[in-house]
């Protein structure tokens, strides 16, 4: 399977830099916009669930569930970037994911961080 099925991050060409660190080397924070988040809830896919049940008996990676989680995280990240840009930010610092079960019907994934305006250090 293609590498994009198992990795993520902001879309290429995004005007919003997203980092998991509290600072960006070579940049200074000019303005703190505030907390932003992107949220999505995905229901469980019956096919993936059946495959996962079989794999749990014989072992191995649950590729269908892995792919679904990557897609879900990427969707949450896209919404995070949209929220930051809509508030005038050009970066998100200290980005994290939070994943929880939503009422036994799906998985909630929240990408969150601090939206800021950064500029190169002169």
Cβ-proximal residues to 94 (8 Å cutoff; 6+ apart), any chain: 19, 20, 21, 22, 113, 114
Residue 77 has pLDDT above 90, yes or no: yes
pLDDT tens track for 19-71: 999 999 999 999 999 999 999 998 865 555 555 555 566 777 777 778 888 88
- Residue 66 has a pLDDT of 80
Q: 7 pLDDT band (50/70/90 cuts)?
A: confident
Alpha-carbon dihedral angle through residues 63, 44, 99, 108, given to the nearest 10 degrees: 140
How far lies 66's CA from each of 61, 85, 89, 106, in Å? 8, 29, 31, 14
CATH superfamily of 3-120: Hypothetical protein apc22750. Chain B (3.30.110.70)
- Residue 115 has a pLDDT of 98
How far lies 81's CA from each of 18, 61, 93, 116, in Å? 8, 30, 11, 12
Provide the mean pLDDT of the chain.
Answer: 86
Q: What is the residue extent of each domain of the chain?
A: 3-120
- Residue 34 has a pLDDT of 98
- Choose among 75, 73, 115: nearest CA to 93: 115
Query: What does the chain come to in residues?
Result: 122
Quote the pTM value.
0.82
């Amino acid at each position: 399977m293609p590498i994009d099925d198992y990795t993520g991050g902001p879309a290429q060409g995004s005007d919003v830099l997203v980092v998991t660190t509290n600072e960006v080397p070579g940049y200074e924070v000019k303005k703190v916009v505030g907390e932003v988040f992107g949220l999505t809830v995905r229901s469980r896919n019956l096919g993936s669930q059946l495959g996962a049940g079989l794999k749990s008996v014989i072992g191995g990676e649950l590729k269908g569930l892995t792919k679904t989680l990557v897609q879900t995280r990427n969707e949450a990240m896209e919404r995070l970037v949209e929220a930051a840009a809509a508030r005038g930010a050009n970066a998100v610092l200290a980005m994290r994911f939070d994943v929880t079960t939503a009422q036994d019907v799906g998985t909630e994934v929240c990408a969150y961080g601090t939206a800021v305006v950064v500029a190169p250090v002169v």
